[in-house]
Amino acid sequence: MGIASDVTAKLREAALPLELVKGEGGYCYFVWDQVDQGGAYETLSVMTPYLKDHTVEEWVTMGKAFAADMAVKHAEYLASGPDKFKLVFKGRDSRD
């Protein structure tokens, strides 16, 4: 397995909806995907040309920090109610 798949496996073992992906142009990014659970889809870019620039443990630590931030945002969204945060896509209310 490669670094990205090792990191993703460790994050999934911790029950985090994250995936580490190698992007193009000198960056990698984490993908947070909870859309199927009424949550958000977010990414966090890490500017580094190579996955090997960080250890698996460093990547996991970065992913867990991102997950903690996303968990707070998700809790705030749920606590505020759906009318407070109106999601708009191409000029239309996403609930239409």
Give 31-74 pLDDT, tens digit per residue.
988 776 666 788 889 988 889 999 999 999 999 999 998 888 87
Instruction: Check pLDDT > 50 for residue 96.
Output: no
Residue 52 burial (CB count, 10 A): 10
Q: Which of 50, 44, 42 has the alpha carbon at shortest distance from 62? A: 44
- Please give the average per-residue pLDDT across 18-23, as a whole number: 90
More confident residue, 23 or 87: 23
Alpha carbon 45 to chain centroid distance?
10
Full-prediction pTM beyond 0.85? no
pLDDT value at residue 63: 93
State residue 83 phi and psi, 5-degree precision.
-75, -20
